[in-house]
Amino acid sequence: MNASAYFKRRAAMASNFRDHYGGSRPFNPHEVAAQNHLLEEQAKSEAREAAVKAEAARAEANLRAEIEAKERAEAEAAAKAAAEAEAKAAKELKESEDAAAALKAAEEAEAVAEASGDAEALAKAQAEEEAARIVAAKEAQEAEDAAKAAVEAEANAAKEAHEAADAAVAAAAAEAAAKEAEFLAKEAELKVVEATANAAAADAAEAEAEAPAQ
């Protein structure tokens, strides 16, 4: 008969004793010792379970911390890329405006040459105007592409920042859970120490009770 079954039977016997004689007889020293050893084993079992849970919680917290660091790095990189894209878009816009101004100046020069009736000056002005038109079109396209890239980079930066914030919240929650689990594990260890001490005291009491009979 194991200790658990023994104490169930002992409780039933005590109940019958109370029904017939009133009150209940106290546990014998060996019964107290057995009960304390049962409590000790129970405490050890609970401590093992708590330790496993604490280890799992700590592993989860460490994983979440790694994910947070990764997401934070990605968010920082995305923010940097967005800033660079915005700067490039501003530069391309300025170049596009300069090219448009150059085209306007070339068109005005062509009009002046045409009005003067100077065929050579007109031909030269027309060539310069055509070249300016090509440059202006190229710069306008590059400015448009850069602006579009800046918008996409900004959207990506916002997305990465949101994911980093979510990861930070998850990491904080996991860390709190790990600390709670570790606290419970330490508490369970203290209960084992207490239960072991009680079991040792019960063994000593049992040995003392049996000593005169030897």
pLDDT digits (tens, 9 = 90+) for 162-187: 999 999 999 999 999 999 999 999 99
Token digits for 10?
A: 């002992």
Model pTM above 0.95: no
Those residues whose C-beta lies under 8 Å from the C-beta of residue 176, and which sit 6 or more positions away, are none
- Contact (Cβ atoms closer than 8 angstroms) between residue 54 and residue 184: yes
What own/partner pairs with CB < 8 Å and gap ≥ 24 does 124-131 have?
Answer: 129/103, 131/106
Q: What pLDDT score does 211 carry?
A: 72
Q: What is the pLDDT of residues 79-120, one digit of tens each?
A: 999 999 999 999 999 999 999 999 999 999 999 988 888 888
Span 63-82, average pLDDT = 97
| Domain 3-210: top CATH class | mainly alpha
pLDDT cut 90: percent of the chain above it: 67
Domain ranges of the chain: 3-210
Query: At 68, phi and psi to the nearest 5?
Result: -60, -45
Those residues whose C-beta lies under 8 Å from the C-beta of residue 193, and which sit 6 or more positions away, are none
Spatial separation of the C-alpha atoms in residues 163 and 92, rounded to whole Å: 31
